[in-house]
Amino acid sequence: MKANKWIYALMLLVVFSFSSCKDYLEFPPEGSIPAEGFFETEEHAVQSVNSIYAHLRGWEMVAFAYIIMQEVPSDNSMKGSAVGDASFINDYENFAYTPSQFVVKDYWAGRYRGINLCNQSISNIPEITMNESLKTRLIAEAKFLRALIYFDLVRAYGDVPTPTKVPVGPEINFRTPKDQVYALIEADLLDAISILPDSYDNADKGRATSGAAKGILSKVYLYLERYADAERLAGEIVSSNKYSLIPDFYDVFRVPTENGPESLFEIQAQQVEGDDGVSFCQHAEVQSVRGQWGWGFNIPTDDLAAAFDAAGDTQRKAATILYKGDITQDGDFIIGVDALEGVSRPRYNGKAYYPPSYQVVGPYGSGQNIRVLRYAEVLLIQAEAMIRQGNTGGAAGPLNQVRSRVGLPEIASPSLDDVLRERRLELAMEGDRFFDLVRTGQAATVLAGKGFTPNKNELFPVPQELIDLSEGNLTQNPGY
């Protein structure tokens, strides 16, 4: 009986199938390839890594679990949609969720499925007879992607299991201390930095680069309070002159700028005419304008709108918050619906708006890439790292580049609060705000009115079902 429970728990966390892709990142897995007979050719190696990229745009990765756990608990976002629709989301807004809530399990399980795909590639590609340069690069890509996923897990749950190879054994049921999880993330990203190219040709655009790995690691160093390292890596990205800010903030999130000069890493999605299941992504669908192009969940709060107004930040507010009755720069009239839960004036996440003129398969924006790391954030990482080391004068340069893009006046001697406020306004609705509040120690104060409990709600609960199936080897976070 114990053996059966262990096997079932393992099945909930990982998948033992392999998926193929039509052509690099433009297409998702189609069908499955059994483990027997796979990982034998160079094509199999490429397909295995492509399946990781494809997994990133899946439902559990970037749709409900993503918005519910990374934005809704923050002061930037609330449930939205129609009154009573998916009312369980309010539990995350009010910090009333429990270990048995399915969203916590979806977030966990989706990411461990991704970890398994990474580990399949990392474990099996070395044995394939193929081009050695490509082999090395593919393994480095898989390590970058594994680090990216573990970064989500450690921020959400703290100590987490860290399988690094296949087959997976009992280690899946034991939590690795957080500092060791971060050490694994750092090691994977350092390997990726040393191997990955700094760019690709158009056929491979969207794959992980050395710049992407440096950018994610600089962000990891902020969480570890290793500010000198964060500054150093961010500075290397800036001095490479390979990235730049797109002049109009509104354009940053539109189709023509996908994988553009501001992008260090994006999750790829593309609509394919005649096959609406290929590369389909529901990230924009669940958030975009209800009644027109989406379901209307994850809507900006009045508090976020007030923060834009207090800063005189009209450009980013207009691009981030779409109110009913607005007309976008693409000429679309926001009709939406007359009522959304929690607000008197209906509004939507403007960064998830996908103009219908770009839609191949309507009415949803299933082909919208998801921006994971932008150059603007690298500049803000550099500024924060400098300030935390006492270099306020140095921090002014990168901070004011971000402010200048949206027409805000320069700050000659910025404070830490100035930089953190800029992070909020620049990155609003992009999945970082709740983690940022926890990282910077602001959560207990900022979220007190929503029911946040210190020393508990900094982390989400480990799924209770998995604790039960592990015979108690998988432990729960404090307070749950």
pLDDT tens-digit readout, 181-190: 999 999 999 9
Q: Which CATH architecture has domain 2-208+441-469?
A: Alpha Horseshoe (1.25)
pLDDT of residue 20: 29
Instruction: Calculate what percentage of the chain has a pLDDT beyond 70.
Output: 92
User: Helical H runs in 87-131?
Assistant: 90-93, 102-124
In this predicted model, what pLDDT tens digit does every residue of 416-444 receive, in sequence order?
999 999 999 999 999 999 999 999 999 99
Given a cut of 80, is residue 28 above it in pLDDT?
no
387-409 pLDDT, tens digit per residue, is 999 999 999 999 999 999 999 99
Output the pLDDT for position 365. Answer: 82
Angle (CA) 110-112-117 rounded to 5° is 100
Pairing of strands 297-300, 347-349: unpaired
Ranges 289-293, 301-305, 360-364: which has the least confidence: 360-364
Q: Which residues contact 33 (CB under 8 A, 6 or more apart)?
A: 17, 18, 19, 20, 44, 47
Tens-place pLDDT, residues 446-480? 999 999 999 999 999 999 999 999 999 999 999 99
- pTM for the predicted model, two decimal places: 0.93
In the chain, what are the domain boundaries? 2-208+441-469, 283-371
Nearest to 385 by CA among 398, 404, 372: 398
The answer, yes or no, to whether the previous bond of 398 is cis (omega within 30 of 0) is no
**Can you tell me the distance from the alpha carbon of 475 to that of 463, in angstroms, rounded to the nearest whole number?**
10
- Predicted pLDDT of residue 278: 67
Q: Return the percentage of the chain with pLDDT > 90, whole number.
A: 86
Q: Of the given ranges (15-19, 134-138, 455-459, 464-468), which has the lowest mean pLDDT? A: 15-19
